[in-house]
Amino acid sequence: MAPPPWTRAPAADIVRGMSVRRLAPLLAIAALAATAGCSSVENETPNGIWIRAPFLGIGDPQATADAHCRKYGKTAVYQGRLGATTNPVYVPILAYDCR
C-alpha cells in the first residue's frame, strides 16, 4: 500500500538529499541544454556581423544576420566560416556581410 500523498517528500527535499556526485551531472546537462541552441553575436558593424554557430544547430544564424543588416537597410550575405579546423568540438564563427 502506498503512503498517503502528504507524507511524500517534496521535490526540494529530494534534491537536498542527493549527493553532489549525482547532482553535478544533472546541473551540467541543464546548463548545456539552456545554452546549446543559442547563437551568439561575436562582433557587429554596419558592414557585417560575426555569429558563433549554435552547438546543436537549433538556432538560426541567418535570421540573426538578416535582422542585423535590416537595421541598416541592407541584406545579409553569408561569407563563410572563420577559423576552420578539424577539431570535433570547435564551434565555428559564421561571417556575414551586409550589402
Could you give the percent of the chain with pLDDT greater than 90? 34
pLDDT, the chain, mean:
76
Q: Where are the domains of the chain?
A: 37-98
* pLDDT at residue 97 in the model: 96
64 pLDDT higher than 60: yes
Q: What SS3 state is found at 99?
A: coil
Please give the residue that has the higher pLDDT: either 48 or 6: 48
Kindly state the average pLDDT of the residues 60-89.
87
